[in-house]
Structure 1
Amino acid sequence: MDEDLISKKELLDLTGISYGQLYRWKRKRLIPEEWFIRRSTFTGQETFFPRDKILARIELIRNMKEDLSLDEIAHRVSPVPDVTLRLLDLEKHHIVTQATVQWCRQACQQEVLTFAEALALSVIDELIRNGAVAWPEADIIWQTLRRHYERFAERAATLVFVRKLGTSTCAIVAARQEGGADIEFEPDAHVVARVDLTAAAEALKLRVLEMGDAS
């Protein structure tokens, strides 16, 4: 699964952060080690980053660093933040729609969610709104992410939703440390959605931060 990469030089120019800031945030584990990707170029070895993920993370750090220490930020940007989120707040802050909140109340009978469960609900909301999946299929995504997301949270992971002859299923595909994470299905299976879970989690962390600021 190829990602859109940004070079270190372009990142520093685009964001205005310094070399020292970037590597200080790395040492404090605000930016994951695996996001520093070494690639050969015509000028030698250069460092690249997954563009969307690193830009979202830098925005998140900037939003928090005036009020929190680097150690506190590191805790907040953990792959699975130790937070609980109310359905009412997710709807109030437009993270998910009212219809998705109602589905969760009826199907899951929960009013308070973990981060992984809130991520699952936000993914369901997006796929329902863009027409990729239907409500009867939502529970497949809910069960998969709430049970297994934490195992893959520190790796680049994608949710793949598949249908074959009217039967639906989904899987989490995670990149391996040594590289490679392609997945292929038999010809009759149709991939109807792929969701970048790392990017979705980063976006949710930003929204959760905004919720805290607004409260």
Structure 2
Amino acid sequence: MDDELISKKDLLKVTGISYGQLYRWKRKNLIPEEWFIRKSAFTGQETFFPKIKILERIDKIIHLKDGLSLDQLADKLTKETNDVSITKKAAMERNIVTDYVLDLYESTFGELDVLDFSRLLQLYLLDEVLKSGEINLEEGKQIIKLLKKHDLASQSNLELLIMRKMGVTFVLVMETAQIYLEESVRIAVRIRLQDMKERLNNLVFD
């Protein structure tokens, strides 16, 4: 079953990797953070993983890592993801995008048929923002233009901020950036791009 879990202890035993390797690969974004699932067990809180996905990913890392640095390997895995494309119909059937978001996007940029990973990410981010209830239809069109202008699929260390003060401002910033705002400015939405990419990646490859 796709939702079968494996404990961290069993994962390390089965694969022969170390605790340090596992978390180093996590820091390098080779293993999605959301695959680290904390659950209660008889020994207390333990970490589990989606068994099939984590075993396939570790097997790929082990077979590729000798010829590549971890950064190069992360780039390779990202590029493989970025090469993915699916039809609009498939994206809707798998609940990756909604009718509402597609209508909004197509009314601005024209009809879509096949969606590559970059466009899927734009639509997925827009859907997440609309669900927050913090932006209206016209503001949604503005955010589409901002997301479309940048190649988000090739970047992982950005955050999307939606700030309000007598209106709305959309900003893409580096995660490590220090942001100083007036007291009257409110951050309505803050979304970490890497989290969205990992969630979308799981939906695409499920």
- 1:73-152 aligned at under 5 Å gives the runs 77-78=77-78, 81-109=82-110, 110-150=112-152
User: In the alignment, what sits opposite 2:192?
Assistant: 196
Unpaired stretches in structure 2, ≥5 consecutive residues: 1-5, 38-47, 65-72
Relative to structure 1, the CA distance from residue 26 to residue 77 in structure 2 (aligned partners, 3 Å threshold; closer, same or farther) is farther
* % identical aligned pairs: 19
Give deviations 1:129-166, integer Å, cap 9, x for gaps.
231211211233223233324487243x2110122312
User: In the alignment, what sits opposite 1:172?
Assistant: 172
1:55 paired to 2:57: no
TM-score by length of 1: 0.63
8 Å contact kept, 1:77–1:205: no
Give deviations 1:14-35, integer Å, cap 9, x for gaps.
46421616666789xxx36546
1:207 paired to 2:203: yes
CA distance in structure 1 between the partners assigned to 2:115 and 2:187 by the alignment: 28
Q: Give 2:60's aligned amino acid.
A: L
CA distance in structure 1 between the partners assigned to 2:135 and 2:17 by the alignment: 45
Relative to structure 1, the CA distance from residue 184 to residue 61 in structure 2 (aligned partners, 3 Å threshold; closer, same or farther) is farther
TM-score by length of 2: 0.65
Residue 169 of structure 2 aligns to a residue in which SS? strand
CA distance in structure 1 between the partners assigned to 2:26 and 2:148 by the alignment: 23
CA distance in structure 1 between the partners assigned to 2:141 and 2:197 by the alignment: 19
User: In the alignment, what sits opposite 1:20?
Assistant: 17
Q: How many pairs does the alignment contain?
A: 176
